[in-house]
Amino acid sequence: MNRTMNKLIVICLLTYSMTLQANEKEWDFSLTPYGWFSGFEGVVNTFDSRFPSHVDMSPSDALNESDASFMLVFEAKKNGQGIYTDYYYSNSFFDDEVAPILGLNIRSRTKTTMVTIAYARELLKREDLALDVMVGTRWWQINSAISIYNSNNNIATSSIEQWLDPYIGLKGTKMLGRSNFFLSGGASVGGFGMNSDLFYDVNLNVGYQWSPAISTSVGFRQLELDYDKDNFIYDVKQAGWQVDLTWSF
């Protein structure tokens, strides 16, 4: 499943890339690296659904336990339609002593990947206002590993769960008067019982257009996902501040 999904994503991106290169001068592009400093709350069990864990982690705790993360949005549009992609990856690590008398420690690592690929079409386009609708897919992968150990023993287990959900959404931008400030945001929903029972993803930002090519924004994003299949439970909410830097070309 993992290799098949990776191949599908690569094929889609290569197909769009060849199309874009053939019409390079007629397309508008934007590249947005972003940081999402989110807390984490919900019910999780990636090993045995009989023993779900209740997790409540603040944004600062989540940041302290993050080993690595990478987040990027890419958009390409021509004649009011094009492609929207959002790539999110985080790698969190936790290691703590749970029974000092026994010298017992617990170590866990969770890698989360979320890839959105959607067709985007303009619903409204004015000098001060833009609104797009998006239809596509969102692919998830949750890779978990946990070990309980001391100086003499080490018990470890791991799991990988991945699935594909349908995805629909809206996104828009509104300039504020004659200033360079703007509001931007989006809302999406998906799953619909195909794999996830449901997910939604909303964000609202305030930004500043420094030049025709460069803008920055800061805002708030919330994502909620409800996935329960076989022995895997992932019913979580992530919410926190988001900072964007957009380069348009």
The domain total for the chain is 1
Rounded Cα gap, residues 89 and 91, in angstroms: 7
Q: Residue 186: pLDDT above 80?
A: yes
Whether residue 239 is contained in a domain is answered as yes
Whether residue 111 is contained in a domain is answered as yes
Rounded Cα gap, residues 173 and 182, in angstroms: 7
Q: Residue 70: pLDDT above 70?
A: yes
Whether residue 22 is contained in a domain is answered as no
Whether residue 82 is contained in a domain is answered as yes
Question: Tell me, what's the pLDDT at 229?
Answer: 86
Q: Residue 14: pLDDT above 60?
A: no
Question: Tell me, what's the pLDDT at 174?
Answer: 97
Whether residue 135 is contained in a domain is answered as yes
Question: Tell me, what's the pLDDT at 66?
Answer: 65
Parent domain of 147: 33-248
Whether residue 6 is contained in a domain is answered as no
With beta carbons less than 8 A apart as the criterion, state whether 236 and 161 touch: no
Whether residue 27 is contained in a domain is answered as no
| Residues 209-221 pLDDT 10s | 999 999 999 999 9
Whether residue 13 is contained in a domain is answered as no
Q: Looking at residues 194-206, what average pLDDT do you find?
A: 96
Q: Looking at residues 239-249, what average pLDDT do you find?
A: 94
With beta carbons less than 8 A apart as the criterion, state whether 24 and 1 touch: no
Question: Tell me, what's the pLDDT at 152?
Answer: 74
| Residues 129-185 pLDDT 10s | 999 999 999 999 998 877 776 767 777 777 889 999 999 999 999 999 999 999 999
Tokens of 65: 């336990």
Mean pLDDT, the chain, whole residue set: 83
Q: Residue 52: pLDDT above 90?
A: no
If you compute the radius of gyration of the chain from its CA atoms, what whole number of angstroms results?
Answer: 20
Q: Looking at residues 7-26, what average pLDDT do you find?
A: 54
Rounded Cα gap, residues 177 and 131, in angstroms: 17
Tokens of 6: 């990776």
Question: Tell me, what's the pLDDT at 109?
Answer: 75
pLDDT band, very low/low/confident/very high, at 30 (cuts 50, 70, 90): very high
| Residues 87-96 pLDDT 10s | 999 887 766 6
| Residues 100-121 pLDDT 10s | 666 667 677 788 999 999 999 9
Question: Tell me, what's the pLDDT at 13?
Answer: 55
For residue 43, the domain's CATH number is 2.40.128.90
